[in-house]
Amino acid sequence: MTQLPDWMRPPRPEGWLAEDLDILPDAPRHTELIDGALVFMMSPRRRWHSSVIFALRSGLTSQAPEGTVIDSEMTVLLDKHNRPEPDVIASTAAIDGDATWYDAKDIVLAIEVVSPESEHRDKAVIPHKYAEAGIRHFWRVEDADGNGATTVHVYELDDHTRTYVPTGIYRETLKVDLPFPIELDVQSLYG
């Protein structure tokens, strides 16, 4: 068995905490913390995934109201044991240039672009975490047929159950009023 590098050993018996992500200089890029465990994005990213993230960020930036920041590939502090990295976020608070995370209380939309490596987390684990943290809107974007046929699943937080309820599945034109008015050509997200 291969010896683990020292930096991969949790600094305390109860595991990793959110602030520990900032002291792991040898960790792979896109390291997340889920339930106190480090999650590494090790598989290569598909062109579809990168194109969709870029298109979403561009499209949302052009439509976001003043005071709303659109960002990508930055972690979000949900609690001391969870700091996932949504593919795209909309935040009502800007962060400093040296900051490494956003606070969940400021996130009005979190978007996960599903990849084969992250599919289970993006569908079953992460939405639950975002809902518990009070993030009002969540989108899950999928390559429905493996050939770039993009589908966007849109969810809104139900305050009573603290879970997401679906509000739409979009394959052509996505048009929503919340968290702010947004209209996107879904099939042009990849191209």
- Same-domain check for residues 184 and 134: yes
pTM: 0.93
CATH code for position 69: 3.90.1570.10
Burial of 104 (0-12, 13-18, 19+ CB in 10 A): buried
Would the pLDDT of 131 be above 90? yes
Domain-embedded: residue 11: yes
Distance CA 131, CA 161 (A): 9
Domain count across the chain: 2
Span of 3-7, 139-143, 151-155 with lowest mean pLDDT: 3-7
- Same-domain check for residues 35 and 72: no
- Same-domain check for residues 73 and 146: yes
Would the pLDDT of 11 be above 80? yes
Query: Domain range spanning residue 69?
Result: 47-189
Q: What is the mean pLDDT of residues 76-100?
A: 96
- Same-domain check for residues 30 and 54: no
Q: Are the beta carbons of 167 and 145 closer than 8 angstroms?
A: no
Domain-embedded: residue 179: yes
- Same-domain check for residues 180 and 140: yes
- Same-domain check for residues 20 and 53: no
